[in-house]
Amino acid sequence: MVLEMLALPSAGLESARAALCGGPGFCFLRQDGHLTSPSYEYGITFISATYIMQHWSKYFHIETIALGGIHDFQDIVLMRRRAN
């Protein structure tokens, strides 16, 4: 199951949902899985398409956002570098 693989804290998805629905559009959650250690924080980042368009488009042309493009739960953002 995807939720088990993500190894998020129990309230993590609610925090992400709040950040994406009316919040800042960005949420980093530390994952408590095998890759996290005292010296290295590993996590998952939830970013809304609105956040991407508002912030990343300052630096890149956003060509497309493929929702669920990887295994039906990770999105793909295709960008092109802006000319200087």
Return d(Cα 40, Cα 35) in angstroms, integer.
8
- Rounded to an integer, the average pLDDT of 24-47 is 83
Provide the pLDDT for residue 26: 94
pTM for the model stands at 0.76
Domain range annotation of the chain:
1-47, 49-84
Q: Determine the 3-state secondary structure of 2 from DSSP.
A: helix
Provide the pLDDT for residue 31: 79
Check pLDDT > 80 for residue 24: yes
- Rounded to an integer, the average pLDDT of 5-18 is 82
- 84: tokens are 């200087």
Check pLDDT > 70 for residue 59: yes
Q: Which percentage of the chain shows pLDDT scores above 70? A: 92
Q: Which residue has the tokens 């960008």?
A: 79
